[in-house]
Each structure stands twice: as C-alpha cells, then as structure tokens.
Amino acid sequence: MGQPGDRTFYLQATDDTGRTVSVALEKNQVQVLADRMDDLLDEVGNRPDTVIPADADVDDLEPLTAPVDEEFRVAAMGLAWDGTAEAVVVEAVAAGEEPIEEDAILSDSDEGPDALRVTITPTAARAFIARARRVVAAGRPSCPLCSLPLDPVGHVCPRQNGYRR
C-alpha cells in the first residue's frame, strides 16, 4: 500500500470463517518469501509422487481486503511443505522481547511471540509468487550505477561522488 518509496507491504490471510489477518513485512521479506516459495515448489515438484503446477496463470490484481489492520510486524518467517496435505505452510512470527529461536518457528508451541500460520495449495502459492514479484517490481527504478532506488527528482549517487543524477 502507498506510493513507491513510501510503501508498506502486508501479508493477508483469510480463514474459512471470513476473518482476515494482516501482518506487515519489509519489501525484501516479500521478495525472499516469493523466491524461497518458488524454490520449495520446484524442489517438491521433482519428486515422482507429487504434481506441482508450473508458474501461475492467474492475474491477481485485487486490492487488499479492507480495513487493513496490522496485527504485528514480521520479524522472522518459516516455510515448509506439508506432504500429508500437499500444501505449503508459511509462518510469520512477530518480534518479541527475546530473540526468536529457530526451533520456535513452525513449532506447535503455545508459548512465544505472536505468529500467523497459513497453509495454502501449490496453485495458490504460485499465484502468491506471481503477485509478490509484480508488487516488488512496481517500486522505484534502481540507479544503474549503485542500485539504490531513484527518487522522481534523482538521488545523490555514492558512485558519482555525491553528484545528483
């Protein structure tokens, strides 16, 4: 949501009852989640007993479900394949007072920080990957010299000794 350079990224999940939960992410977390999810589906698709769809053919251009009420800001994420349900499991964990233990992510413990666990089909995962990549790419263009984002008026490029491009 927002204009390039001032956007907030959200991960939304809606359950069977229609309840929607929104958690805030950083842009790079969205990119990493999409990349890792794509790698996971490719890896699982190489198994002879599993059928995973190729890239999504779905154009998901729907807006986020309103109102967008941020439950928490994501500090860590976990990604797994549930072979029994043949589904992708994504868990987003909130920052807490203590550092997040790796074992706490994707565990069924009632203790610990707030977490959102989502189970989606491989087809829905491919659609998420396509949408996430489209949203991330819709940001500001990168400077060809330093790869930092360009503002509409340019930016002070460190590779140009501070001269504005």
The segments of the chain whose pLDDT lies below 50 read none
Q: Residue type for 161, please?
A: N
Neighbouring C-beta atoms of residue 154, cutoff 10 Å: 11
Q: Identify the DSSP state of 30.
A: H
Tell me if 165 is assigned to some domain: no
User: Which DSSP string do the residues of 43-71 spell out, in sequence order?
Assistant: HHHTSTT-----S------PPPPSS--EE
Burial classification of residue 144, based on how many CB atoms lie within 10 Å of its CB (0-12 exposed, 13-18 middle, 19 or more buried): exposed
- The answer to whether the peptide bond before residue 99 is cis (omega within 30 degrees of 0) is no
Q: How many domains does the chain have?
A: 1
Tell me if 112 is assigned to some domain: yes
Nearest to 69, CA basis, from 128, 12, 27:
12
The CATH number of the domain where 69 resides is what? 3.30.2450
Token output for 109: 């413990």
Tell me if 13 is assigned to some domain: yes
Tell me if 4 is assigned to some domain: no
The pLDDT tens digits for 15-51 are: 889 899 999 999 899 999 999 999 999 898 877 766 6
pLDDT at 91: 92
Tell me if 146 is assigned to some domain: yes
Report the run of H or E that residue 122 belongs to, with start and end.
Answer: helix 122-137
**Helices and strands (H and E) in the chain: how many:** 2, 5
pLDDT at 99: 64
Tell me if 23 is assigned to some domain: yes
pLDDT at 115: 86
Tell me if 111 is assigned to some domain: yes
The Cα–Cα gap between 117 and 105 comes to 10
The Cα–Cα gap between 105 and 127 comes to 24
Question: Taking the CA of residue 20 as centre, how many other CA atoms within 13 Å lie in the half-sphere pointing to its CB?
Answer: 11
The Cα–Cα gap between 30 and 9 comes to 8
pLDDT at 136: 87
Place of tokens 């509409």: 152
Tell me if 145 is assigned to some domain: yes
| Domain carrying residue 125 | 9-160
